[in-house]
Chains A and B, each alone.
Chain A
Amino acid sequence: MIRRYWNINLKEMLETGVHFGHATRKWNPKMAPYISAKRKGIHITNLTRTARFLSEACDLVFDAASRKKQFLIVGTKKKAADPVTRAAIRARCHYVNKKWLGGLLTNWSTTEMRLQKFRDLRMEQKTGGINRLPKGDAARLKRELFHLQTYLGGIKYMTGLPDIVIIVDQQEEYMALRECITLGIPTICLIDTNCDPDLTDISIPANDDAIASIRLILNKLVFAICEGRSSYIRNP
């Protein structure tokens, strides 16, 4: 893996507030190496480490994208749902922004059946088959389509299990993380001071509460994915 320049500067990170952690009494002692100070009852993460890890993560993602791997971005916090969708669409990745259904990856065969149902319903809606049914049935199908769109909308282009999963908040997406661990999928995770850095493969100590900090980190990763894809197109 060659190292490239990813435009990560510490000043930008300070402005967006990446270095803020959670309250002191909620910390996880395993995060001690990544915490640099304690100010006003909040832990402050060490930004040099964050920057280093972020650049390594970008390199890895660039490498994987240039080898045509599939990505999945998971972020179900209300604040993060919108940035995650836009980032994933921009990077042409799969995403989960509403609730993560249990067994989405470990029970992939069942998820596939749901995806097929989703596709069939979409087809029916397009060809207007729903309007021919009585009102009650039509309403039921529309509701089902709406539910499937919210939960599975981001993964409708997924043909198999993803190769790398990017998770936005470890505490919130614990189920997703557990599934990836059982399946052996490498994960990149935004770790805050109350999270466990040993669970994921690549941890980026950062603030997961502020929208600005999530945007910044997703920005870098998405840029890396786009670059990787374009380099694949240039020389497959």
Chain B
Amino acid sequence: MRHLKGLSALATLSLGVFLLAGCSEQDEPPRVRLWALAPPEVTPTDADSRVPLRFAVALAVSPQEGYQLYGDLAEALGQKIGRPVHLILRRAFSEVNDLVRSREAEMAQLCSRGFLQGHADFGLTALAVPVVNRRKSRPSYVIVSAESEIGTPAELAGKTFAFADPLCAPEAFPAGRGGQRPEAFFRRKLLITGHDRAIRAVAEGLVDGALVDGLVYARLALTDPGQVAKTKVIGETAPYMNPPVAVHPGLDPTVREKLRRALLTLHEEQTGRAVLTRLAIDRFAAPGGEVDGRGR
């Protein structure tokens, strides 16, 4: 009888183990009704009832990089003007111009070519120009891999080449001085969105060379020196105006003045200086003659 008891205990234990083995996750999960559809809920915005100032930026870098850089700038400006600044990122300067023209954005920063086009189209007005290395203009660089044997732009003939922003890029490539179009000069021409990505493409050997914005290159040398060290500059374009901060001509003069003052004095405060350092900008300066097209 004792044996019988032992056997029944063993059988019960085995059965228990077997049953438990199949019993993980026995807690009751929350219920959802997949077949009962309704309009999505909208979460109300912050209690801040002040109308934000919309700041559109034509990106020379990837959206995430741009969000980090210009997000800080927008916040710093907002603090200075006492009004929230809402950042709007776009890839092409034409989109930014469209936003300003249609009054969907009050302020914009875009490449000099875009600015000139907006200035010509609807009187886009420059408020400030970044000063980088004490200059309001900079060239674009022709870069190749640091290990590459290519030493001059002319040696890129028949190679793969990347442009980060064809609309902002100079019309004539430095090597094409003989009037040769890039399509004919290079074996293959690529479009890579974002100058930072174009630099990485060269550093990682995906393309033989790239034409990149001088400002982005200088900033990346600060934030990611390892990446930049894998590349070398073998040529540069003629300098052209650093991307200005501009507003719609019809913007309330008070606001415009506030903005202008905020921009020109940003470097005077610690927070502003930190933001500018991350953007690799010395300071913002009042625009000069370059905004009329002379600084191209």
Question: A and B: partners?
Answer: no
Report which B residues bind A (CB closer than 8 A).
none
Report which A residues bind B (CB closer than 8 A).
none
